[in-house]
Structure 1
Amino acid sequence: MPLDRADRHLPRPALIDSYGDGGFRLGDLSHRGALVCLTDGIWAADIAAPEAIGDDLIAFVAGSTPPVEHLLIGSGAAPWIVPDALRARLREHGMVVESMTTGPAVRTWNMLLVERRRVGAILLPVL
């Protein structure tokens, strides 16, 4: 099911305090499963593998206000190489994409968020 901005979400970006055991902790919240973290909020995502990132999710990320310039993909516990076609589609929306395992992606998200950069992240849980 595609994400919708009207879906229940945290209506602001937030630092991620911890991750693991299939989920994430941010502030006083805990979430099991994947997250889409953007400049205008954080949403739960029904995505189990980075290969499942498709046009609906790209359009959702591209609709962020202000627009995302740097998209991080936290691929879970295993590294994943961004296919050229996905990289090109994101570039059409003005985004540079970088893939890494979820731990480094969480740390990079936090750092870039503190720097007030226009960053987004698709974070898969680490089990």
Structure 2
Amino acid sequence: MQLQTESNPALNTVTAYGDDYIEINAVTYRHAVYFGPEGEIHAMPVTSSDQISAALLRQIAGIPEPGAADPMAFLDDAPPTLPADAPQIVLIGTGARQRFLAASLIQPLNRLGIGVESMDTQAAARTYNILMNEGRRVVAALLPLECSA
């Protein structure tokens, strides 16, 4: 299904999707991908939503592992600081059917103030395009429709 006839070439826009592909800026990907409005489209090393881990969610959001930068950071009472370009929300497209991720996977990002929403890939693609066009800091991780287990 084609989503948009026009897109801003400077922004990553989902332009179509089908059973075995996702199209971003008229480039077809036949594997799971994650991306934000600007920058690269990254391959996501999963074939089902069951393979998504907390570490992968942090990678998708561009958030370093806790303690990676400063081993003494746990002594600070201040909340962790996020990169300036940290997303407000991470959308997970879980294939043809909506699959919820375990709370234990999304809690680390939620504690940092980053929302994580799971929905079928079609809904995630449409929602991403809307939020991206509104100028929101959003990241989408999309599995092709055939990947729904």
Which TM-score applies when normalising by structure 1?
A: 0.81
2:26 counterpart residue number:
28
2:57 counterpart residue number:
58
C-alpha distance in 2 between matches for 1:99 and 1:40: 21
Which TM-score applies when normalising by structure 2?
A: 0.70
1:89 shift after superposition: 1.7
Q: Which among 67, 70, 81 is matched to residue 100 of structure 2?
A: 81
C-alpha distance in 2 between matches for 1:80 and 1:54: 14
Q: Percent identity at matched positions? A: 33
For 1:78, what is the secondary structure of its paired residue? coil
Count of aligned pairs between the two proteins: 116
**Structure 2: gaps spanning 5 or more residues:** 1-9, 64-83
* 4+ residue segments displaced more than 3 Å: none
C-alpha distance in 1 between matches for 2:11 and 2:42: 10
Counterparts in 2 of 1:39-50, with a 5 A limit? Answer: 39-41=37-39, 42-50=41-49
1:61 shift after superposition: 2.3
Write 1 or 2 for the structure with the bigger share of strand.
1
User: What RMSD in Å do the two structures reach over aligned CA positions?
Assistant: 1.8
